[in-house]
Amino acid sequence: MYTRHLRIGGPLHLLESFGRINKQIRYFQRLSTSQRDLTLSDCFNNLYNSLTYQGFDFMRLLALALTLLITNAMAARIVIGTKSPNSGEAFEKNLSPMESKALVADEADLIGGFNYWVDSMVATPNQENAGSCLFMSHTASVEAILNQKEGYRKYDLSERYFMNLSKANVGDNLIDNWITDTIYRLNVEQKVYTNEVFPYKKDWYKIVGGTRVDAAPEEEGAYYGIKANWVVNLDQLTHAPAIKTPEFKRDILFEDGNRWNVGTAPSDIVETVKKALATKKGPVVVIYNHTGFWHAVMVGGYNDTIRNHGCPFVSEFPHKMNARALEIREEAAAQTDESERARLERKARLFEKRGKQVEDSFNAAGGCSNQGAFYVRDSIYSDPAQPLYDYDPNRTGEERHLGPRVILREYEWLRHMANHVMQIYVAQ
């Protein structure tokens, strides 16, 4: 067999060739999943000219370079996060967080999509185990609305302020259902603060009469961590610069009533959300079952052309739920208390049931369409490409990277795992 070699002489040319390979790899890393199959031939042609060297077999070099190229490209686009239970300190040791992956959206992913709100979305600190997702997602919605009006990402708002309003019962008289009506709390004060003024933080706190309050460092019975954001410190904002806000409203697009339910959304929920977003009224908040724990995120747009390659988030759900059920059963087997063993067995069966419900709903709808994704702002991931966020300026070692501004979730995620969907917008 005749093997073609391009004759380029000398070690310097070899270094130049591998420099071109590396450039191609970096270029490929920036390509979206939806466009990789459309540009592979271009990459192959460029690599052909980059890889050959006198005395080297082109195909061997090509195989090596493509392995590096694809591995680097895929690894660069995935972030790993953990969703913790929304529970108190006393119960956390019995409920380990669930790990999940997300595909980070890049500029190429925005081509051909509805991205009216995307440029106004702001990267968020990792919420860790604060149980603050409802307030992270609502803050993200307000950020997007205010920033879109300004024309750029001017405001990075305080999630902690929203959390404090809830703990201080501000606007309780406006709340019929705290899951769907949380945005109304802002209408009482008609102002928000930036994260710089009232930061999402880690600090010392203790629990007195069921309420978290400030504590001195190392104080007996005190905790240090992210749940210090639930301590009501609104008095610190008396003279702080505030941002005036309009009156907000919300439309319920779907309400199940149970934050853990799956497979109950109407078959047209994807089109309903897309249509709502396309009105440009406002972003959408979605509450769904995140492998056993309820979770809230903000959706700022969508793209019908993105290929989601097997719906990984949905298709892995039954396996993760079954794995968690097995862990719970192992814990149940070690119990000496019969009532506790029975409770854990019931819990394991519930995990299995919901995993099966997603699987059945997914299959009944025809499985994965492999096409279409939402632009989502989530608060449980840290992105190495983002700056480090300092939770406590008085300590070192607690810093983490901000989350990605936008991740991708397949349309099937909403269809089979959502249980509450609301659109947040400015009242006219």
Contact by Cβ (8 Å): 45, 71: no
pLDDT in tens, the chain (428 residues): 322 223 333 444 444 444 445 444 444 444 444 443 334 444 455 555 555 444 455 565 565 556 555 544 444 488 999 887 765 554 455 567 888 899 999 888 999 999 999 999 999 999 999 999 999 999 999 999 999 999 888 999 999 999 999 999 999 999 999 999 999 999 999 999 999 999 999 999 999 999 999 999 989 999 999 999 999 999 999 999 999 999 999 999 999 999 999 999 999 999 999 999 999 999 999 999 999 999 999 999 999 999 888 899 999 999 999 999 999 999 999 999 999 999 999 999 999 999 999 999 999 999 999 999 999 999 999 999 999 999 999 999 999 999 999 999 999 999 999 999 999 999 98
Distance, CA of 53 to chain centre: 44
CA distances from 154 to 134, 163, 401 (A): 22, 22, 20
CA distance 22 to 295: 39
- Cβ atoms of 104 and 110 closer than 8 Å: no
Cα three-residue angle 38-274-187, rounded to 5 degrees: 135
124 and 272 assigned to the same domain: yes
Please tell me whether residues 293 and 400 are part of one structural domain: yes
Number of domains observed in the structure of the chain: 2
- The answer to whether residues 375 and 132 touch, using CB atoms and an 8 Å cutoff, is no
Q: Is 67 in the same domain as 152?
A: no
> Residue 32: its pLDDT value, please?
42
- Say if CB 138 and CB 285 are below 8 A apart: yes
**Nearest CA among 103, 81, 124 for reference residue 31:** 103
Same domain, 123 and 254: yes
What does residue 350 show for φ and ψ, rounded to 5 degrees? -65, -40
What does the pLDDT read at residue 11? 41
Residues 113, 65 share a domain: no
Q: Which residues contact 200 (CB under 8 A, 6 or more apart)?
A: 125, 127, 158, 159, 160, 229, 391
188 and 296 inside one domain: yes
**Domain presence at residue 213:** no
| C-alpha span between 226 and 201 (Å, rounded) | 6
Rounded distance between C-alpha atoms, residue 286 and residue 258, angstroms: 13
Supply the CATH number for residue 120's domain.
3.90.70.10
Q: Has residue 225 been placed in a domain?
A: no
**232 lies in a domain?**
no
pLDDT for position 30: 44
- 52 and 163 belong to one structural domain: no
Quick check: is 317 in a domain?
Answer: no
CB 266 within 8 A of CB 254: yes
348 located within any domain = no
Which tokens go with 417? 């795992």
Of 35, 55, 76, which residue constitutes the final position of a domain? 76
Domain that holds residue 22: 11-76
Task: Indicate the residue among 24, 53, 76 that finishes a domain.
Answer: 76
Q: Which of 76, 97, 113 is the last residue of a domain?
A: 76
Q: Are residues 133 and 196 in the same domain?
A: yes
Please name which of 246, 270, 230, 233 lies closest in space to residue 371, comparing C-alpha atoms. Answer: 270
Tokens coding 297: 């995120």
- Asked whether residue 401 is domain-assigned, the answer is yes
**Does residue 61 sit in the same domain as residue 127?**
no
Q: Give yes or no: residues 297 and 406 share one domain.
A: yes
Is residue 66 domain-shared with residue 100, that is, in the same domain?
Answer: no
**Domain co-membership, 107 together with 251:** yes
44: number of Cβ within 10 Å: 12
Query: Which residue type sits at 408?
Result: L
For tokens 């056993």, name the residue: 292
In a domain, 346, yes or no: no
pTM over 0.85: no
Structure token pair of residue 381:
């991931």
Residue 357 lies in a domain: no
